[in-house]
Amino acid sequence: MTLTLDEKFAYMATGQPYNDLDPRLEDLRDQATQKTDALNREPSMAQKAQLFQALVQHAGVDPIINPNFRCEFGRNISVGDHFYANYDCVILDGAPVTIGNRVLFGPKVGLYTSNHLFAASERPTGGCIAKPITVGDNCWLAANVSVTPGVTIGANTIIGAGSVVTHDIPENVIAAGNPCQVLRPITDADRTGFDPTSSQWP
């Protein structure tokens, strides 16, 4: 049975094994590489935003994407308003990646929905699985954070630098480590009173 591409991606999102060496997927990866090459070369921030919005399934207003951004397909990525990806962001979107509003990614953040199968005999034949990743509104993922398949990170949460996120993290917390664990909640004590319109701040 030959599935259409839409059916193939819908099946991939179920977490069932699929053939990662499907020539249609390889063609889409090549297209994504060409598109991200153009995105990374573009000097105009306005043009970069347009190229990013054309690459992904959905992007809200004012995305800022620093080079070198890479993704596997693009078609499975949805981001909200004011998304910021610092240098060398990688998103492997074999399954849907959903990113909320005002999310900040530090340098070298990676979101990886896909995983090779564990049996050594099945890997050379293209056996993979993919599970969706969700990052809530107002999250900050610091430098070198890796997010593994199937993870949801709750709104307002901070993930510390170098963390490997292997399971869901709730909202409104600071979490870090390998594997990533909740350190503490974010509270009113974390407020500094910062107001960029005030003469108090340079």
Kindly list the catalytic residues.
116
Contact 152, 170 (CB under 8 A): no
Contact 142, 161 (CB under 8 A): yes
Using CA atoms, how far residue 136 sits from 20, 143, 168, in Å, is 28, 18, 11
Contact 114, 129 (CB under 8 A): yes
What does the longest C-alpha to C-alpha distance in the chain come to?
67
Contact 77, 91 (CB under 8 A): yes
Taking the CB of residue 6, how many other CB atoms lie within 10 A of it? Answer: 9
